[in-house]
């Protein structure tokens, strides 16, 4: 059973609100739907307004989409095909030959120093082979390194953009005038959207954060969630 806003049926009647009873539901003058049940010869109603839930869900979703669209406008998400095409690095220095090796033929001595240096520089050795499948030359392909570097920049931009959008949404949600009930639900949507956006940005850049920065970021976000919980749940 969900716990939200409960009203005794006597208070509904005493408030002068027009209540229409149909099956297990009560419908108020403002189209609010109440789910009720009998308990100890008294009736209780559950305030279940789908419109408010939709407002919160749609606002929260659109804030997250807005943050991502801003990030993509600043820098499109990199794709490996854009950097490496159909390049598939080989793990071995010997490839298939076009001719069968003569009896007693052996490949020239292979010097792996260049390959080791290429790997050290975060590149991928790219071999060309002679007709017998022996390595004839090697170049160092840095497309994977360049792609990973671009992905890291994109994640950083997403983290910064999501953090800014999240802070703006949370501040607006906390400072909306509470005189109108619709403002309360819009504010809750902004808060949820801000928290979701902040979470997405943190997850995207978490692996690239320094080991000392990670706990600080998580602590700040945890403190923010606790503060918002007390702030909103303690309001009457």
Residues facing residue 135 across a β-bridge: 129
- pLDDT over threshold 50, residue 21: no
Please compute the mean of the pLDDT values over residues 182-207 and round it to a whole number: 91
Which of 65-74, 75-84, 129-138 has the least mean pLDDT?
A: 129-138
- Phi/psi for 39 (5° steps) reads -150, 115
At 66 the pLDDT is 95
- pLDDT over threshold 80, residue 174: yes
At 68 the pLDDT is 94
Task: Report the phi/psi class of residue 104: left, alpha or beta, with left for phi > 0 and alpha for psi in -120 to 50.
Answer: left
88 or 216, which is more confident? 216
Q: pLDDT tens across 143-162, in order?
A: 888 999 999 999 999 999 99
Residues in the chain: 236
Please compute the mean of the pLDDT values over residues 17-40 and round it to a whole number: 48
- Measure the CA–CA gap between 1 and 236, rounded to whole angstroms: 22
pLDDT confidence of 96, banded at 50, 70, 90? low
Please compute the mean of the pLDDT values over residues 35-59 and round it to a whole number: 63
Question: Strand 20-22 to strand 135-141: parallel, antiparallel, or no bridges (unpaired)?
Answer: unpaired
List of E strands, 5-77: 6-8, 20-22, 25-27, 33-39, 42-47
Q: What is the mean pLDDT of the chain?
A: 77
At 87 the pLDDT is 60
Please compute the mean of the pLDDT values over residues 85-96 and round it to a whole number: 61
pLDDT confidence of 199, banded at 50, 70, 90? very high
- pLDDT over threshold 50, residue 7: no
233 or 60, which is more confident? 60
- pLDDT over threshold 70, residue 91: no
At 136 the pLDDT is 79
Q: Which two tokens stand for residue 43?
A: 């009736």
At 97 the pLDDT is 60
Please compute the mean of the pLDDT values over residues 89-97 and round it to a whole number: 59
- pLDDT over threshold 80, residue 234: no
DSSP 136: E
182 or 218, which is more confident? 218
């Amino acid at each position: 059973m969900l716990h939200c806003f409960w009203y005794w049926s006597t208070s509904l009647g005493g408030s002068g609100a027009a209540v229409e009873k149909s099956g297990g539901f009560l419908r108020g003058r403002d189209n609010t739907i109440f789910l009720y049940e009998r308990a100890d010869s008294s009736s209780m109603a559950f305030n279940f307004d789908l419109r408010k839930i939709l407002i919160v869900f749609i606002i929260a979703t659109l804030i997250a989409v807005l943050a991502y669209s801003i990030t993509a406008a600043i820098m499109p998400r990199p794709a490996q095909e854009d950097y490496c095409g159909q390049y598939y690095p080989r793990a071995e220095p010997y490839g298939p030959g076009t001719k069968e090796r003569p009896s007693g033929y052996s490949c020239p001595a292979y010097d792996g120093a260049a390959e080791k240096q290429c790997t050290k520089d975060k590149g991928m050795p790219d071999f060309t082979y002679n007709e017998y499948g022996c390595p004839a030359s090697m170049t160092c392909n840095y497309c994977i390194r360049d792609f990973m570097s671009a992905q890291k920049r994109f994640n950083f931009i997403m983290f910064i953009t999501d953090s800014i959008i999240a802070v703006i949404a949370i501040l607006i949600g906390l400072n909306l005038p509470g005189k109108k009930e619709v403002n309360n639900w819009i504010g809750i949507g902004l808060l949820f959207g801000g928290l979701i956006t902040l979470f997405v940005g943190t997850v995207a850049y978490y692996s690239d954060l320094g080991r000392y920065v990670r706990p600080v970021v998580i602590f700040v976000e945890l403190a923010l969630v606790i503060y918002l919980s007390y702030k909103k749940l303690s309001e009457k």
